[in-house]
Structure 1
């Protein structure tokens, strides 16, 4: 359940009701390495209140690991949507879908077969959206579990009043109902509290101000504004346009809204409220989960392939592990370097990649892979190659403690409930495994994970690579910069936790600079209208103290550079397209050179100011052109 084009609607997500588990089998695939130091466990976990065997997280010299009750370290490899799919009675041959009981005599037979497969393919964990009621009855069930309990969805959080006793009661009721059956099962690593809430900043602001005057959430926002603007209404209105009838603090307290004033610092203020709301959200989720299962880990809320820094920081205060669903940034299976690195720095916690996936145009289920812009390659062999790259990148991160593949079977070729129709399965809709893909997991050398984590990735500091034949290529989502040498061309940021990557490459005639940033832009900042031009992102580049350019980017509009002679192309969008990709060609003549040659040194200073001046990221250094 990834980042869909459904906007920021408040989607309630249903869990399968589960029965009480009685078996307590030893989980598989545990590392034989050193036991965890007691002090490390104590530092990584909240206090527990029972004698149940528990799983913890701890940091070692070679990175973060899950640790079982015997002190053995392990890396979780999960699969989502492990269920029998469509009931036979509901199966429609004209709109086929995965229906396991068309191929098995019973749920037990399906569960036995599926669990045997997963273990042969080296999976260790049953991820979210599983039919745990069926799986727990199987004698093959000795895997870890990471259930999703959608507590925020149950209470409308963070969009609605998170101090409302009725909403808190609804959250608590769902937690009691869904956690009680497994709170004593040692195979449960922990719980996710939600899935892809989005955290859309402008919508959260709007919905909060639309709440009744006695809403604690609304009152907290107004109290924050009074502090930030020193109780000065005229200062507030420099950043915001009040709605009709709102002319002072008193009238605002009775109702009405505030809309960001274009060109101001209003969005930065809105991000501070986002931090306040996120703190309350994670506090409620952590307290609720620990009240009902104090021995389980709180695994975060599964971001939808983007996040706001303010939300990540708040998550780190309360969760044991931060989690994110993560689409590959390119069809070759590669990821932005900044994404996970910055999430770890901001949260200060180990990370669990709660979904990753890859589809192929050639598949046996008839999936067309339309609608949502997820990674797609030509055939199953290319799919296996892309997943190999994804696994290699994810397992090289010393703070990643697990990954979960989405999903067990292909989606219906006519589309699931929201129209999504992707070839994401380990098996097709007729329960036949994709051998090329499953071999990737079965043969991946997880025993070398500690060694892989110590490897140093190359970057432009060792030499800027030559450019591809057409550095601009097809500049779109999943394709922009895909054909660049993104390993050797990567420019490390000077900023501590950027949400943008910078890349370099060159030809004799020109230097090329590539940018890939996460920069959410919402129409709700502007009352549903188009984003203001003066709020668009600013990309500043200075090369060799001779060539200085400022480029306006983003908001789904064409780029605009202030320096003649520069070719700039970009891809961006609004609302559900929080990505900004750009390439600029800087002719050698603009840098005062007749041509560029191997061994030349180029001094670079770069800055990205994101939409509404919300964040600033910097890069600087001297880079040598390489063959």
Structure 2
């Protein structure tokens, strides 16, 4: 029995396999590590107009430090006691490793047309690539009491709030006041800064709520402690139903009945209690699952299952597909989504299934097509690698879904609307080494980071199949590298520094860009 972090403020002891490592947004090459998710609950649908909720300001107790950049860290009081170690699990991307991808054809899926679908509805209406976004804000419609996703009469896909208003999800990952510990020192620089400025956590919540409102965000993305923000934002927990073992292979044998039992346990503990929460946007089943060779595990999923002990369910399933890696990939994806999505829908028919936060550069088309049969929204973690890293992907060859700026191929293959669930940028001069993860650009200034945000989001706003985008992350990682998961991430990905100082002009430009999101007017 291993404590399973529900991510909602408490642990429940249930049988599970150690689930470690997943592919970072641009691929995996260097290392695989483990971490616990930091999800929570209790957030209301947020008005897309961005009106502030709450009466506190960024100048709440302690004052709001000024300046364009974070001040150097000084000696601070001991860090506050952490009740859990929230974090996300991924493999660090690097350009020096081999990036191999699965070869494969396309799975033929039976698609049922429907203009509107929500949780529990298997219908879909693939949207024609190239159709333009609507010129006007869609009118309110009859609410259902829960978030749903619809295709408007003009073809635009949109979320609808529980009361029927159009809603494009603009989110931030890892919004929490208990941040990552530093690898070598064991300190939590962000925790120290926050506890010094906001002795009462509610004051941090009010100040952070006002910031997110002002910057145009309406959703708490993955790894956020949404228990602290009850009634303020939509929220999107990650269930981590499978994960990956060290080396990349699935930690669970998806064909083994024990996996279905494990999923049922997680669903009972985490999903069932929230099945009637109107503030829950939807569930992520997992995060950046491993589907084959990606530079960490150089073998196909078929090879990995053939290496399992003889007589196990997965080995038996693999033997039936020996010599047909693409066929086995389809079988494995079918089994994974059938077990997980069926369990979640059975316990919670009210909420959307938002997919598995697929890595944009390592996800085979067979997986995208199969997922489309089971999920309501296809979620993609889509980073923009350096040219050198792109060259590594190109040299690897194989068949993965192209990560175009508007992500149209993910929509075309899945038949579902698409949501970007991770993207980010970082800059020099921020006090962060920006060496981990490798393979991502380091901009010269915060102004350049702001440019990258606008350039990235523009094609998403114009793509009628995109229903949201979530930025990674709220606060920078510790300069000394984070300890949990022990991957050493040390980058300036945050909207704020480890001293809780907003990065300007990044956040001002983000606010101006987010004001143009679909559904706002």
| TM-score normalised by the chain length of structure 1 | 0.57
Does the CA-based 8 Å contact 1:329-1:336 persist in structure 2?
no
User: What is residue 137 of structure 2 aligned with on the other side?
Assistant: none
Number of matched pairs: 389
2:433 to 344, 363, 367: 367
Does the CA-based 8 Å contact 1:160-1:211 persist in structure 2?
no
The answer as to 2:260 corresponding to 1:168 is yes
Return the offset for 1:375. Answer: 2.6
The answer as to 2:38 corresponding to 1:16 is yes
Alignment of 1:9-408 (within 5 A): 9=32, 13-16=35-38, 18=40, 21=42, 25-29=44-48, 40-41=115-116, 43-47=117-121, 53-60=145-152, 61-86=154-179, 96-97=189-190, 99=192, 100-136=194-230, 141-153=231-243, 158=250, 160-201=252-293, 202-225=299-322, 269-306=324-361, 307-329=363-385, 336-337=403-404, 340-363=407-430, 365-408=431-474
Alignment of 1:476-555 (within 5 A): none
RMSD across aligned positions (CA)? 3.3
Does the CA-based 8 Å contact 1:315-1:322 persist in structure 2?
yes
| TM-score normalised by the chain length of structure 2 | 0.67
Give a deviation string over 1:549-579, Cα, whole Å, max 9, x none: xxxxxxxxxxxxxxxxxxxxxxxxxxxxxxx
Name the larger-Rg structure.
1
Unaligned runs of 5+ in 2: 1-23, 51-113, 123-142, 294-298, 391-401
For residues 271 and 258 of structure 2, the distance between their equivalents in structure 1, rounded to whole angstroms, comes to 20
Return the offset for 1:88. Answer: 10
SS at match of 1:58: strand
Does the CA-based 8 Å contact 2:182-2:478 persist in structure 1?
no
Does the CA-based 8 Å contact 2:183-2:488 persist in structure 1?
no
The 3 A distance-change label for structure 1 pair 184 and 106 is same
1:419 to 478, 483, 488: 488
SS at match of 1:101: helix
The 3 A distance-change label for structure 1 pair 273 and 57 is same
Give a deviation string over 1:212-264, Cα, whole Å, max 9, x none: 33323222232234xxxxxxxxxxxxxxxxxxxxxxxxxxxxxxxxxxxxxxx
Structure holding more helix per residue: 1
Higher relative contact order (CA 8 A, sep 6+): 2
For residues 360 and 89 of structure 1, the distance between their equivalents in structure 2, rounded to whole angstroms, comes to 20
Give a deviation string over 1:297-336, Cα, whole Å, max 9, x none: 11111112321111111111101011111102458xx995
SS at match of 1:212: coil
The 3 A distance-change label for structure 1 pair 79 and 144 is same
The 3 A distance-change label for structure 1 pair 125 and 86 is closer
For residues 82 and 450 of structure 1, the distance between their equivalents in structure 2, rounded to whole angstroms, comes to 24
Structure holding more strand per residue: 1
For residues 6 and 400 of structure 1, the distance between their equivalents in structure 2, rounded to whole angstroms, comes to 29
Does the CA-based 8 Å contact 2:179-2:188 persist in structure 1?
no
For residues 451 and 39 of structure 2, the distance between their equivalents in structure 1, rounded to whole angstroms, comes to 37
Does the CA-based 8 Å contact 1:278-1:311 persist in structure 2?
yes
SS at match of 1:377: coil
Return the offset for 1:182. Answer: 2.7
For residues 87 and 397 of structure 1, the distance between their equivalents in structure 2, rounded to whole angstroms, comes to 35
For residues 149 and 501 of structure 2, the distance between their equivalents in structure 1, rounded to whole angstroms, comes to 36
User: What is residue 296 of structure 2 aligned with on the other side?
Assistant: none
Return the offset for 1:349. Answer: 0.5
Give a deviation string over 1:498-523, Cα, whole Å, max 9, x none: xxxxxxxxxxxxxxxxxxxxxxxxxx
Return the offset for 1:121. Answer: 0.6
